[in-house]
Amino acid sequence: VQLVESGGGLVQAGGSLRLSCAASGLTFDDVGVGWFRQAPGEVRKGVAGIRKTDGRAFYTHSSRGRFTISSDNTGNTIYLQMNALKPEDTGIYYCGATRQLFNYVTRWPDAFIYTDWGQGTQVTVSS
């Protein structure tokens, strides 16, 4: 299983970016996929998740209304559309996949339930 993130970059506050998480070796059919941000010196924190079994999306208080997680029709790519970006959104963004869907509604932000990770893509938001 390989996950590859792309789409990061440098953007001014208020701008937008769309991150992609492409999968090989599995399809995002029966898994949960989460997007996480890791700032320097901090732990990896969930920003959005999607339960592919029913397409339900999950967000944090900070990401709700600004970020949108979605998937393409092939089931092989998960996107994170990020709008109204803020400097505190800066960090390395990782996507993770898990088949541990029990209580995913509350567990999706927990990095330890994800078994497969990409290498990350850097997002920098300047003020």
pLDDT at position 29: 79
Extract the tokens encoding 106: 């509350």
pLDDT tens for residues 6-29? 999 999 999 999 999 999 877 777
Question: Is pLDDT at 108 greater than 80 in this prediction?
Answer: yes
81: left (phi over 0), alpha (psi -120 to 50) or beta: beta
pLDDT at position 73: 82
Q: Cα separation of 59 and 46, whole Å?
A: 8
Read out DSSP for 44-112?
-EEEEEEETTTTEEEE-TTTTTTEEEEE-TTSSEEEEEE-S--GGG-EEEEEEEES--TTHHHHTT-GG
pLDDT at position 1: 79
Extract the tokens encoding 110: 């927990």
Q: Cα separation of 74 and 106, whole Å?
A: 27
Question: Is pLDDT at 32 greater than 80 in this prediction?
Answer: yes
pLDDT at position 13: 98
Question: Is pLDDT at 127 greater than 80 in this prediction?
Answer: yes
pLDDT tens for residues 38-90? 999 999 999 999 999 999 999 999 999 999 999 988 878 999 999 999 999 99
